[in-house]
Amino acid sequence: VAQPGRAAPVLSFVRNFWGGAARPIERMNQITVNTPSNPYVVLVGRGLLRKAGAALATLRDYSGVFVLSSARVWKHWGRAVEASLKDAGPLRRILFDDAERAKTLATYEKVCRQLVREGADRRALLLAVGGGVVGDVAGFVAATYLRGVRLVHVPTTLMAQVDSAIGGKTGVNLREGKNLIGAFYQPRLVLADPQTLGTLPVREFRAGLYEVIKYGILGDAELFGYLEENLADILKQTPQHLDWMITRCVEAKAGIVGKDETESGLREVLNLGHTFAHALETATGYRTYRHGEAVGWGLLAAARLAAHLKMLPAEDCARILALVRRVGALPAWPRSKPEALMQIMRSDKKARGGRVRFVLPKAIASVETGVEASDETVREVLRQMAAGRGAS
Ligand code: NAD
Ligand code: GLY
């Protein structure tokens, strides 16, 4: 059941800052995510981080703000967050390791225990400031701590701004597989400030771009063409390109999760490339690839497999391979045997009864979900990837 009233205070924040504020935000895009469990707004705007306190004030009735972040992110943005929240009531800060290999139940437990020690009660508001790892862990904490407390995301990586902060997937990895423990839990608000990407290492920015390409392949031919045309400027982080691209992806994700919050159908399209990606990350102990880089390999493998199954015209396959390759060099394909990767894929969340189900492209801007392929076909594609023929 939709609860549109919930978004109203945030909209008044948008109106107030549009006009008379001392340092107004020049351009702000506002996208509503109409999930049945909790509709909310994603704001995309340069300078939004400085307004976080005012935005939180619209959520009212919280007993205290508990910022969950990492030392790496805090070093760059901590002072700005603190300054912005100076009027938002008592603020507590919990920093944890945001390395992918630390996205574990142990980290989750540490954060929960610290919340208890800091006195977080049921009206606590958790503010997740960071990339996808911070967001996924903080989200799972918010979903489960005292059976659920309020959550606001301030995503600071491209990956988190275009994808992970939106849609309510939260969770942690097991050694056996990625994101195998988690919950769907929607935030109350998402504040995406593209200025925060200014301190992001280039490798992390590129990693996020693979996820942007994913949106183009799965349903947005205009975005795909835009990336082909403007990639050089996008890699320079030209604001006008970046802001347009982020907003476009947020709109796409909001549209999809608004129709299928818990992935009972449509939302599966967002997993394009992820069956391969999660296998690569798991096989390498979450140490070799940035998640986005694994998705980059996953897109190449998905295109290869689709072409192999004669689902994808050669011309579209070539465009996908070329665009992914132009983003930059990916860390080498792992040494793992095809059978080892296939074994991991069989315990992927999307698998049913041990049968792997792929999301594969049929054209630029069109995908098919639930595709099964014979072991021999998948093995052959994995062999091609390992032989370095993935992107050629
Ligand atoms: P990340 O969270 O690992 O962050 C990348 C690195 O950048 C980290 O070292 C971090 O400290 C640093 N960093 C973050 N913001 C920074 C900034 N502004 N300036 C300087 N350094 C900064 O990586 P990511 O790509 O954001 O997220 C990947 C994670 O997100 C994976 O665990 C993936 O599974 C998850 N994810 C989840 C969803 C979802 O729907 N929940 C979707 C996509 C990805
Ligand atoms: N990142 C995939 C999803 O949110 O469904």
State how far the Cα of 55 lies from the Cα of 84, in Å rounded to an integer.
Answer: 10
Mean predicted lDDT score pLDDT of the chain: 92
Residue 21 confidence (pLDDT)? 43
Q: Are 254 and 39 in contact (CB under 8 A)?
A: no
How much helix, strand and coil, in percent to the nearest 5, is found in the chain? 55, 15, 30
Distance 135 CA to ligand 1 centre (A): 8
Q: Kindly give the distance from the C-alpha atom of residue 18 to the centroid of ligand 2, in angstroms, as a whole number.
A: 31
Nearest atom in ligand 2 to 211's CA: 1
Q: Quote the ligand 2 centre to 164 CA distance (angstroms).
A: 7
Percent of the chain having pLDDT more than 90? 86
Judge whether 261 and 37 are in contact, CB under 8 Å: yes
Reported as a single tens digit per residue, the pLDDT across 110-120 is 999 999 999 99
Q: Please say if the pLDDT value at position 7 is more than 50.
A: no
Inter-residue contact 69 to 129 (CB < 8 Å): yes
Cβ of 117 below 6 Å from ligand 1: no
Q: Which atom of ligand 1 is nearest to the CA of 99?
A: 3
Which of 75, 274, 291, 350 has most ligand 1 atoms within 8 Å of CB, for mutation? 291
Question: So what's the pLDDT on residue 22?
Answer: 42
C-alpha 122/C-alpha 157 separation (Å) is 29
